[in-house]
Chains A and B, each alone.
Chain A
Amino acid sequence: MRDIIVVKEFNLWFGKDHILKNINMNIEKNKVTAIIGPSGCGKSTFIKSINRMNDLVPNCTTDGEILFDGFDNIYKKDVDVYELRKRIGMVFQNPNPFPMSIKDNITYGPKIHGIKDKKKLNEIVESSLKSAALFDEVKDRLDDMALGLSGGQQQRLCIARALSIHPEIILFDEPCSALDPISTSKIEDLILDLVEKYTIIIVTHNMQQAARISDNTAFFLSGELIEYGNTSDIFETPKDKRTEAYITGKFG
């Protein structure tokens, strides 16, 4: 079993709008899976379905199953959403550090999940920041406000924050769209490091980015999964005309 997530006939509606249509998709463990597609194709909604962040949208209804180890179907009624989100971390489009110190940003998650021991928390701060390649830049100012960091540093802090509770999967929702090229390449390198320990699912607008860092790529269009497979196959020999049109820049 190398699949960590299995999506079966999954549908999602916001009110009457049918946003995701009959998605079937297996996501491999310890691989980078990229989700590409034009704006409004449902790719962000899709990854937010995996940690049930769409629950926050009023009138959101779903149908079908998303299977995740230990949960069976995560949309079953008695599912512990908090435990689910602890195991599936998320990094958002815009860096969203909490308005508190760098250190408190990292200890927030562990504290929520019951870790009180100061020594343990300090260890988590250091290891999370190191894993997010941020430790050397901020080690002398852990008590400074996180909002004083640059955009790229803030995004790596958000990655460190996601790592602090040891998730199994990390969802990235266009993590580089608000960043400059240098910060972007740092985040990409980081994702390639992280995939050894974690499963990564990344939504991206940037097709070169998908080609550079992902093992598998899924192409979404108007809420449907058009094509899914090995990244090199998708980019070199797409089977569907729409995929080919999109990756060659004919629309989007």
Chain B
Amino acid sequence: MDDTKSKISFKMFKEKAIEKFLLIMSLISISIVFIIFLYLILEGVPAFSTIGFFNFIFGTEWFFPTDTYGIMPLLIGSFYVTIIATVIAVILGIPSAIVLSEMMPPSIASIIKPIIEILNDIPSIVYGFIGMIILIPFMESSLSMVVGESYITAGIVLGIMALPTIVTISDDAIRSVPKDIKEGSLALGASHWETIKNIVIPSAISGIIASIILAMGRVLGETMAVMFLIGCIPRIPTPFYNIFQSGSTMTTGIVSEMGEAARGSLHYHSLVGIGVILLIIVTILNFVADYARIRVQKKFG
């Protein structure tokens, strides 16, 4: 009697112990996220309080020798680079996704798709390096730019980096459109392209939008490749739409100056402050992308 009893209680103990272990591990993972948020906010807040949140965001000058910290030049830089990269990735990526999912025989698509996905596995430093030795000289010689490092140069390379995100997720979204409704369209005498344009793409649009937003998030957070390609000069371009000028983004701004900022100084807090703003923007983008993806799932159950 006693023996079975102790066996059972040992099993129960083991069960409880494993449950507790799993719970603790998951709590640690979740709390790490909160710690990162909390740390960033605590370290960034002195910048907002000293400089003023409004002046910090809309200040047009970033110059640490005079302790002037306005992140507008970096916001503009990130904005231009992200827009250029997204436009390039969309122009190349959406047609690729349509060809992969709708026009290629599945046997060939299953070879091509992993090849495009390899772009995702290349370390970003390699992109920066290739951009530096190929694209920058090309920009300087063919567009007669004095300095090849610019928003456009960084944007082009990041566009290629973001391509697999758009192709993979859009391709999945297009594939998830039920075959039934495509056949319904074709049976009414619509051509393949008419079916793609009127039925397939509108049905997959939430997923396609999600892919674009995730690609934007990726570009916005990218650092290493941009370091090589943008010049790392925190200034507002003149005129303000001159994307052929050197500049800086939020990420490169942090990296290029963090080494020289004394810990605890206003400079240091301001750099962390950039991180806070970046985190907020990327988080919002991810929420929007998730929302779009949930919508596409709901549409087809």
Binding site for B on A (CB under 8 A): 51, 53, 56, 58, 82-86, 89-90, 92, 94, 96-100, 108-109, 112-113, 147, 158, 161-162, 165
Contact = CB atoms under 8 A, between A and B. Distances in A.
B152 to A, nearest CB: 39
B181 A108 contact: no
B186 A56 contact: yes
A98 B187 contact: no
Contacts of A158: 184
Given A53-B183, A58-B105, A99 B188 contact: no
A51 B187 contact: yes
A158 B187 CA distance: 11
26 contacts: A53-B186, A58-B105, A82-B189, A82-B190, A82-B191, A83-B189, A84-B189, A85-B187, A85-B189, A89-B187, A89-B188, A92-B180, A92-B183, A96-B181, A96-B184, A98-B184, A99-B181, A99-B299, A99-B300, A109-B188, A112-B188, A112-B189, A112-B190, A112-B194, A162-B187, A165-B188
A96 B188 contact: no
A56 B184 contact: no
A86 B188 contact: yes
Contacts of B203: 99
Nearest to B177: A99
A108 B187 CA distance: 12
A206 B223 CA distance: 65
B254 to A, nearest CB: 44
B189 A109 contact: yes
B248 to A, nearest CB: 45
B284 to A, nearest CB: 28
Contact of B189 (A92, A113, A147): A113
A165 B187 contact: no
Interface of B: 105, 178, 180-181, 183-191, 194, 198-199, 202-203, 299-300
B106 to A, nearest CB: 9
Given A82-B190, A86-B189, A165-B189, 12 more contacts: A56-B186, A58-B105, A82-B191, A92-B180, A92-B183, A98-B184, A98-B199, A109-B188, A109-B190, A112-B189, A112-B194, A112-B198
A83 B181 CA distance: 19
B184 A92 contact: yes
B190 to A, nearest CB: 5
A177 to B, nearest CB: 14
Nearest to A58: B105
B132 to A, nearest CB: 45
Contacts of B190: 82, 108-109, 112
Contact of A85 (B188, B199, B202, B300): B188
Nearest to B203: A99
List 4 tightest A-B contacts by C-beta distance, closest first: A86-B189, A96-B180, A109-B188, A90-B187
A112 B198 CA distance: 9
Contacts of B188: 85-86, 89, 108-109, 112, 161-162, 165
Contacts of A83: 189
Given A82-B191, A99-B203, A99-B300, A108 B180 contact: no
Contacts of B198: 108, 112
Contacts of A162: 187-188
A239 to B, nearest CB: 34
B101 to A, nearest CB: 15
B180 A161 contact: no
B301 to A, nearest CB: 9
Contacts of A97: 181, 184
Contacts of A165: 188-189
Contacts of A161: 184, 188
A113 B190 CA distance: 8
A56 B186 CA distance: 10
Most buried by A among B180, B185, B187, B202: B187
A108 B189 CA distance: 10
Nearest to B191: A82
A159 B129 CA distance: 60
A94 B199 CA distance: 18
Given A108-B198, A112-B194, A98 B189 contact: no
A147 B181 CA distance: 12
A161 B299 CA distance: 21
Contacts of B183: 53, 56, 92, 96
Nearest to B107: A58
Contacts of A89: 187-188
B180 A94 contact: yes
